[in-house]
C-alpha cells in the first residue's frame, strides 16, 4: 500500500513537471504582456523595467514557427515520408540557397515576391525552385556572372559617354577617363578570355593620337564644329566588336553540354516565399517537396511522378475516396481555343499575337469553378470584346460537358484535322495524353484520375500535360499538389523536363486537422501524456481496490 502511494506521488509530480515544461516552451519568447504595447502604458512600462529598451516580440505575418514540439514533429513526420518515397524511386537529393539574385526569377510569372536591393544588388527570397535547378544542372553560373558584370560596366560607360559631347568630351577623355576605360576594360577581358589585346590597344591609341593632332590644328572658333564624338564611337565600336567576338567564343563554355543528354531524377524539400494574402491554407512561406525528372521525352516520366504521388497518399491512408487527380493537356486546350475563336481573331491579329491572346484566355479558365456561369461568360466578354457571344457559350459548354478522355477524342476527331496550331499535329499530343489514362486504367488506378480542361496551372512555362490534386470531401481546399511538363530550349538544344511540387500547408491541415479519427500520427509529447494518464488511472484503480 505505501509503495503504491509512493508511485502515485511520483507520477503526480512528474505530470506537474511536464505541464510546467510545456508552458515554459510556449511562453519562452513572449516575455512582454500585450498591455505593455498600449501608448498609455509606455511610461509605466519604462519605470517597471528600469528604463530599459522595450522590444516588441511579434512574428512576421504569414511566417510560421515550429517552436511547439507537436508542430515540429508533424513537419518532420511529413518530411520523412517524402524522403523515403524519393529514395524508393531512386531520386537524387539536393539543396540550394533561399536567397537568390533577382535576375534568375525575372521572367517568372510570379508577381508576389520578397525582393529588395542591397549594395546595388537586387536580391530575392526564392518563390520557386525550378529555375535554380535548371541553372545548377545546365549552366556554369560563375562564367555567366562574370560576363554579365563586364557587360554592365560597358553599358554604364557607354551611357555616361553619350551624355557628353563637343570640346568638353575631348578634355574628359584625355583627362583620364577614356584612357582608364581603354586599358582597364581590355585588361579585364584579357584576364577572362586569356587572349592578348596588345595590337587592339595600339590601334586605339594610334587612332586616338591622330584625332588629337587633327583636333589641335583646328581654330578655336571651329573647335565645336569638329565632331570628335564620332571618332570616339568608332574606337568604342571596335572594342565592343572585339568583346562580342570573345563572348561568342566563350559562350560555349557557359552551358554544361555534357548534361544535355543525361537523365536526372532530382528531389528536394525547400522553403519558398511569396507575398500573398494570408489565410488558413495560404501562408507567405511554405516548405515544398520538389520532384523533377529531366531528359526523358516520352510519357514514362509523367507516369513515374504520378505513381510516386499515389504511393504517398496510400502511405498517409488517403485513397480515391479522398483525393482526385485532375489532368489536362495545355496544348490541346490551346488548340480548342484556337479552333473556336479563330474566325474572331483572324481579321484582328497576326498569328503570334493570336497565340498571346490565347494565353491570356487560359488565365481566365482557372476561374471556371470559382465563379458562376454568367460571371465567367461576362468576364471573358469584358476582357476580350472582339469574341462573339455564341463562341463564348460554345466554349462554356465544352468545358462543362467534356469530362472523359473519350469525349475529348470525339471532339478532336469531329473538328478539322487540317488545323495545325503552332505547326504541330494535334493527334500526336492527344495519343500521348490518352496513353497516360490507359496505363493507369490497366493498373486499376483509373479512379484516381479525372479529365478537367480548366486545369492550366499558373506558370506559363508548362507546355504539355499538366495536373493538380484536390481533396474531394472539402471543395474549399486549395490544390494539394500540382505539376506538369515544361520542355525548354538552351542554345538551340531541346531539354525534356517534368516536375511537380507539393506544399506542406494544405497536406498538413488535411492529415492532422480534418482526419483526426483516421490520423496515423501521434506526437511524442502526446504519447507521454497518454501514458502518464493511463498509469495514474491504473494506480488509482488499484489503490481503491
Please name which of 139, 132, 143, 141 lies closest in space to residue 259, comparing C-alpha atoms. Answer: 139
C-alpha distances in Å from residue 208, one per residue of 182, 183, 232, 290, 489: 11, 13, 8, 57, 44
Beta bridge pairs of residue 327: 451, 467
Q: How many CB atoms lie within 10 A of CB 287?
A: 19
With 0-12 CB in 10 A as exposed, 13-18 as middle and 19+ as buried, what is 201? middle
Q: Is 474 annotated as a binding residue?
A: no
Q: Are strands 121-125 and 99-101 parallel, antiparallel or unpaired?
A: antiparallel
Q: Is 183 annotated as a binding residue?
A: no
Q: Is 425 annotated as a binding residue?
A: no
The DSSP code sequence of 212-279 is HHHHHHS-STTTTTS-HHHHHHHHHHHHHHHHHHHHHHHGGGTB-GGGTT--EEEEEEEEEE-----B
Q: Is 274 annotated as a binding residue?
A: yes
DSSP type of residue 60: P
Please name which of 103, 62, 39, 520 lies closest in space to residue 318, comparing C-alpha atoms. Answer: 520
Distance between CA atoms of 508 and 471, rounded to whole angstroms? 13
> In the structure grid, which three cell numbers stand for residue 60, read together?
512576421
Q: What are phi and psi of 218, to 5 degrees?
A: -75, 155
C-alpha distances in Å from residue 95, one per residue of 92, 267, 524: 10, 9, 28
The DSSP code sequence of 122-148 is EEEE-S-SHHHHHHHHHB-HHHHHHHH
Q: Is 457 annotated as a binding residue?
A: yes
Map 72-119 to HEC letters: HHHHHHHHHHHHHHHHHCCCEECCCCCEEEHHHHCCCCCCCCEEEEEC
The annotated binding site is made up of 274, 288, 292, 457, 461-462
The annotated binding site for L-histidine is made up of 274, 288, 292, 457, 461-462
Amino acid at each position: 500500500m505505501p509503495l503504491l502511494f509512493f508511485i502515485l506521488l511520483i507520477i503526480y509530480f512528474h505530470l506537474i513537471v511536464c505541464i510546467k515544461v510545456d508552458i515554459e516552451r510556449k511562453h519562452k519568447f513572449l516575455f512582454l504582456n500585450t498591455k505593455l504595447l498600449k501608448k498609455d502604458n509606455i511610461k509605466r512600462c519604462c519605470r517597471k523595467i528600469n528604463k530599459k529598451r522595450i522590444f516588441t516580440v511579434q512574428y512576421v505575418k504569414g511566417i510560421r514557427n515550429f517552436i511547439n514540439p507537436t508542430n515540429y514533429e508533424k513537419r518532420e513526420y511529413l518530411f520523412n515520408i517524402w524522403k523515403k518515397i524519393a529514395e524508393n524511386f531512386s531520386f537524387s537529393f539536393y539543396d540550394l540557397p533561399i536567397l537568390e539574385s533577382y535576375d534568375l526569377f525575372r521572367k517568372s510569372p510570379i508577381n508576389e515576391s520578397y525582393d529588395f536591393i542591397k549594395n546595388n544588388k537586387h536580391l530575392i527570397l526564392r518563390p520557386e525552385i525550378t529555375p535554380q535547378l535548371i541553372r545548377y544542372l545546365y549552366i556554369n553560373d560563375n562564367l555567366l556572372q562574370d560576363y554579365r558584370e563586364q557587360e554592365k560596366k560597358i553599358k554604364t560607360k557607354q551611357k555616361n559617354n553619350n551624355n557628353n559631347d563637343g570640346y568638353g568630351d575631348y578634355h574628359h577623355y584625355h583627362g583620364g577617363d577614356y584612357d582608364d576605360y581603354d586599358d582597364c576594360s581590355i585588361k579585364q577581358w584579357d584576364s577572362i578570355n586569356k587572349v592578348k589585346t596588345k595590337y587592339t590597344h595600339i590601334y586605339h591609341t594610334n587612332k586616338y593620337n591622330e584625332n588629337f593632332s587633327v583636333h589641335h590644328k583646328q581654330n578655336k572658333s571651329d573647335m565645336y564644329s569638329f565632331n570628335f564624338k564620332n571618332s570616339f564611337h568608332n574606337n568604342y565600336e571596335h572594342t565592343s566588336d572585339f568583346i562580342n567576338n570573345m563572348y561568342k567564343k566563350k559562350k560555349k563554355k557557359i552551358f554544361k553540354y555534357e548534361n544535355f543528354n543525361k537523365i536526372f531524377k532530382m528531389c528536394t524539400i525547400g522553403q519558398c516565399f511569396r507575398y500573398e494574402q494570408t489565410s488558413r491554407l495560404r501562408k507567405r512561406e511554405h516548405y515544398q517537396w520538389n520532384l523533377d525528372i529531366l531528359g526523358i521525352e516520352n510519357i514514362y516520366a509523367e507516369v513515374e511522378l504520378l505513381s510516386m504521388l499515389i504511393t504517398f497518399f496510400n502511405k498517409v491512408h488517403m485513397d480515391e475516396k479522398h483525393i482526385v487527380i485532375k489532368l489536362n493537356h495545355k496544348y490541346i486546350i490551346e488548340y480548342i481555343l484556337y479552333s473556336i475563336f479563330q474566325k474572331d481573331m483572324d481579321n484582328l491579329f497576326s498569328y503570334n499575337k493570336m497565340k498571346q491572346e490565347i494565353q491570356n484566355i487560359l488565365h481566365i479558365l482557372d476561374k471556371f469553378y470559382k465563379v458562376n456561369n454568367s460571371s465567367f461568360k461576362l468576364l471573358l466578354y469584358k476582357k476580350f470584346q472582339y469574341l462573339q457571344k455564341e463562341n463564348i457559350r460554345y466554349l462554356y459548354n465544352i468545358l462543362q460537358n467534356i469530362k472523359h478522355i473519350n469525349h475529348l477524342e470525339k471532339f478532336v476527331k469531329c473538328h478539322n484535322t487540317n488545323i495545325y496550331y503552332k505547326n504541330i499535329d494535334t493527334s500526336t499530343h492527344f495519343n500521348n495524353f490518352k496513353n497516360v489514362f490507359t496505363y493507369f486504367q490497366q493498373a486499376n488506378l483509373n479512379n484516381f484520375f479525372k479529365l478537367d480542361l480548366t486545369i492550366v496551372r499558373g506558370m506559363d512555362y508548362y507546355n504539355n500535360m499538366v495536373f493538380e490534386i484536390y481533396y474531394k470531401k472539402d471543395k474549399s481546399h486549395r490544390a494539394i499538389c500540382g505539376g506538369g511538363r515544361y520542355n525548354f530550349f538552351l542554345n538551340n538544344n531541346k531539354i525534356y523536363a517534368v516536375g511537380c511540387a507539393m506544399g506542406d500547408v494544405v497536406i498538413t491541415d488535411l492529415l492532422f486537422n480534418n482526419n483526426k479519427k483516421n490520423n496515423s500520427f501521434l506526437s511524442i509529447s502526446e504519447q507521454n501524456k497518454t501514458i502518464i494518464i493511463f498509469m495514474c488511472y491504473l494506480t488509482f484503480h488499484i489503490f481503491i481496490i
